[in-house]
Structure formats: C-alpha cells, structure tokens
Amino acid sequence: DGGITQSPKYLFRKEGQNVTLSCEQNLNHDAMYWYRQDPGQGLRLIYYSQIVNDFQKGDIAEGYSVSREKKESFPLTVTSAQKNPTAFYLCASSSGYGYTFGSGTRLTVV
C-alpha cells in the first residue's frame, strides 16, 4: 500500500539530547513537510522540501533540522536547542494540491 510511514510512534527525549524522527513515503511525491501539533493550536509548519537536497524553513524552524538526501525520506532532528519539544509531530507529502499525512510521532521530554 502507498503511504507515509513515521517512526517511532512514541519517543522520549532526555534534557540536552538530540533525537531524530523518521519519515518515509512510497507515493513518489516531490514535496514533503513536517508539522508540529499542540493542543488547541492546530498544525504549525516546521520545515518543507520541494526536491532532494533542498529544504526551506517554516514558521517554527528554530531548534529543528532536516535533511532530504533521498526523495522518499525526510527525517527531522529535534535538537537540544528546542526548549519545548513535547508535541505530536506529523510528516506529510504532496504531489499537487492534496497532502497525505503519516500517523505521527509523539515526542515527550523526560
């Protein structure tokens, strides 16, 4: 089945630690996106990428980094500079108007 796979489903981060969230798609979509979801705030754009080896900052990129070495993969690293990383993270891809979302990764700081 075509879709987006995010892993892990749950992730725990210690203070001062970097963690990487995985996002893989087999839809052959060019564009990929990372969103952060907090209760009552909708979805906020962290980073997006239109093509391999190119990506752009979204509205809340501080404390995050990404790479796009393959069309299928768009991993997100939450760095220690992100002071409030506890949230639900969603990856999406698109080939035009519609977005397809993954099932998300819930990150918790412990």
Partner 1 sequence: QQQVKQSPQSLIVQKGGISIINCAYENTAFDYFPWYQQFPGKGPALLIAIRPDVSEKKEGRFTISFNKSAKQFSLHIMDSQPGDSATYFCAASNWVPGSARQLTFGSGTQLTVLP
Q: Is 41 in the site for partner 1 (CB under 8 A)?
A: yes
- Out of 43, 60, 61, 109, the only residue in the binding site for partner 1 (CB under 8 A) is 43
- Nearest CB to partner 1, comparing residues 15 and 53: 53
CA distance linking residue 9 with residue 52, whole number of Å: 25
Burial of 27 (0-12, 13-18, 19+ CB in 10 A): middle
Q: Rule CB under 8 A: is residue 96 a binding residue for partner 1?
A: yes
Give the nearest distance from C-beta 33 to partner 1 in angstroms.
8
Q: Is 23 in the site for partner 1 (CB under 8 A)?
A: no
Nearest CA to 65 out of 16, 106, 8, 18 is that of 18
| 30 DSSP assignment | S
Amino acid letter at 51?
I
Q: Which residues bind partner 1 (CB under 8 A)?
A: 4, 6, 30-31, 33, 35, 40-45, 48-50, 56, 59, 90, 92, 94, 96-104, 106
